[in-house]
Structure 1
Amino acid sequence: MLTIYAPPGATIPKNKMKLVISKIRGVTSYGMLCSGAELNLSDESDGIVELSNAKYKKKI
C-alpha cells in the first residue's frame, strides 16, 4: 500500500497544525499518515489516503 506520510515539520492543511516529534500513549511519534480530509483533498476523513501503486510498479 502507498499512502501519504507527513513528517515532523509538516503543516496539516485542514487545521494548520504543525507536526512535531512527540509521545502518544508512551510511544514516540515521528509524523502521521493522512486522510484526504486532513489534506483538503476530499471529504473522506475515515481512514488514510490509499494511492494506486500501479504507476510505481517496477520489473525485477
Structure 2
Amino acid sequence: MKTYRYQSVEKNIMALIASGALGLGDKLPSLRGFSNRLGVSVSTVNQAYLELERKGVIESRPRSG
C-alpha cells in the first residue's frame, strides 16, 4: 500500500497529540510554518489537516487565526 506525504504529516500531528505537545484546544502550527518544519508543500500540510478534520481528530474554527 502506497503512503502519501500528507499521511506522513498526519502521523506527525498524531504523534504530537499523543505526546502531549498538542493538547485539547491548542492551535495547530500554521500551514506555512509546519510545511517549512517538515520540508513538504503547504498543500500537503493542508491535505493532512483536511483529512484529520474529516476524521474528527481536529476542528476548524473560522477566523481564529
Structure with greater strand percent: 1
Identify whether the pair has TM-score above 0.5, normalized to the shorter chain: no
Please indicate the TM-score interval, normalised by the length of the shorter structure: under 0.3
- Of structures 1 and 2, the larger Rg is shown by 1
TM-score by length of 2: 0.20
TM-score by length of 1: 0.21
Structure with greater helix percent: 2
